[in-house]
Structure 1
Amino acid sequence: MRSSVSDAFLIFTEPIEGRVPYLYLDSWGLVTVGTGCRLDSVDEAMTLPFVLADQPTIGASTRQIREAYTAVQSRPDLAGRPLDFAGRTAVRLTEDGVDELAARRLAALEDRLIRTPEFAGFPRWPADAQLALLSLAWAHGPDFSGWPDLRADCAAGDWRAAADHGRIQGATQRNAADRALFRTAAHATENHWDPDVLWYRPLGHRAELHPRDSGAEVVLLQERLLVLGYLATVSGVLDVETELALREFQRAHVLLVDGVAGPATWAALGTAVPATVAAHT
């Protein structure tokens, strides 16, 4: 993958998946840790640098890791609620361990994806398209055998069509970001922009903004809306004009049209595609 993609991946995915040092069950009921990294078995968990939650300078034993893994598996009723697992196990993954696991998982995903015939050209794709497919694979897994339209879109380099076909049911925030990425890839390709550059701008964690809010976060929101062609001025206050512009942006990006800048809207705002381009998709 292009270096701009590997460099930005954690910045992109942490606001969506979180950064969780303890084991938990994801919404599919699978044991997960870090930035949404699913663990296939307790044996895989035991290869990771877990430490004791109350003594983080002491490494966890294989017995303690196994006990934690089993304890998490025993609570399918809590699947999809990571916070509810916070105090249920005695081991934690180190910060370096979270990063190393994510890097290892990302490389493995790329290796699996390029074995799919329609994705064989992945190394030559524009950076934004690479990040979009990796994002989908991170949440869904690398097997896209049930996604014939998306595979055909990618084989043809039709990133606008991929924006419509690359959706995971219920993953509103990720879908908004992936849609923006594919649209950006289309715009970058059509305008012969450097494919090594990630033109999408991951914005990271941002506060939820409501009408009449003010401050630096509102300025950032207004600057993004201005760059994208939805707003004419920056005032620092989420006034009526900004709310209307935000609603127009949400409508164009198939988001909940509520005039509130929440996680899904912030994710979509990372796109560099101007409103005039979005209107054609």
Structure 2
Amino acid sequence: MATTEEKKTLRAKLEKYEGKLNHMYLDSKGYVTIGVGHLLSTVEEAQKLGFKDSNNLKASTEAIKTDYDEIKKQPANRLAVFYKKHTKLTLPEIDINALTDKNIASFEGELKRIYSDFDTYPVDVRLALFDLIFNLGMTNLKNKWPTFNTAIKAKDWQKAADNSSRAAPISAERNKYVKDLLEKAAKAKKDTGVAAL
């Protein structure tokens, strides 16, 4: 189980790299999104959330559909703030935080399905894997990263670091963050190994 400290670090990093928006927007692939990279795959999913109107009153399902449909019509891969002018509703921070917590719990379960000994990995490795699965999704991480996954399962953190880079639109800074986490774990493992000799 992710510790409180891990969740705090994870939330801060996800907010830094994904952003934290209280209005609907399109992600880099053109999917309607809210909060900290939370996918809204259907209008019905959006309508289950506690959106508020400009008077801070609960938005109607019709108003949520209007915002959702308006966002879907916009061009993809723009800065998230571009979409603000096309929305009338906002999602309260408490709801955004709840969605993020739900996503973290869901991704943790998925990581444990991919890596049976996930709980035994160093904190830095777990944080790196959380960042990857949040961005790639379980299916892509599991099926399209064979060299990386072999390294993780072998606890070869350096090889995993060398194979952790994602393509654009992922920033070089975000890729470096994940690589640095894995290299830190590799160094700690090496130092521990040397000390044990």
State the distance in 1 between where 2:8 and 2:16 align: 15
Note the alpha carbon deviations across 1:32-72, whole angstroms, 9 max, x for none: 111122222222212222111x222x111111111111111
TM, length-normalised to structure 1? 0.63
The aligned counterpart of 2:58 is 59
Verify the 8 A CA contact 1:29 1:80 in the aligned structure 2: no
Offset at 1:178?
0.5
The aligned counterpart of 2:195 is none
State the distance in 1 between where 2:81 and 2:154 align: 41
State the distance in 1 between where 2:60 and 2:97 align: 21
State the distance in 1 between where 2:42 and 2:166 align: 25
What SS class does the counterpart of residue 33 from structure 1 fall into? strand
Change (3 A) 1:60 1:186: same
More helix as a share of residues? 2
Mapping for residues 91-130 of structure 1, pairs under 5 Å: 91-116=89-114, 119-130=115-126
Verify the 8 A CA contact 2:6 2:127 in the aligned structure 1: yes
1:84 to 58, 82, 85: 82
What SS class does the counterpart of residue 104 from structure 1 fall into? helix
Amino acid at match of 2:152: C
Mapping for residues 206-245 of structure 1, pairs under 5 Å: none
The structure whose Rg is larger is 1
Unaligned runs of 5+ in 2: 193-197
Offset at 1:29?
0.6
What SS class does the counterpart of residue 86 from structure 2 fall into? coil
Amino acid at match of 2:10: F
Unaligned runs of 5+ in 1: 193-281
Root mean square deviation, CA, Å: 1.4
**Percent of residue pairs identical:** 29
Amino acid at match of 1:122: F
Amino acid at match of 2:73: S
Amino acid at match of 2:174: R
State the distance in 1 between where 2:47 and 2:191 align: 48
Note the alpha carbon deviations across 1:206-250, whole angstroms, 9 max, x for none: xxxxxxxxxxxxxxxxxxxxxxxxxxxxxxxxxxxxxxxxxxxxx
The aligned counterpart of 1:5 is 6
* 2:175 counterpart of 1:175: yes
The aligned counterpart of 2:187 is 187
Offset at 1:146?
1.0
Amino acid at match of 2:58: G
The aligned counterpart of 1:141 is 137
Verify the 8 A CA contact 1:132 1:181 in the aligned structure 2: yes
Offset at 1:87?
1.6
* Matched positions, count: 187
The aligned counterpart of 1:25 is 26
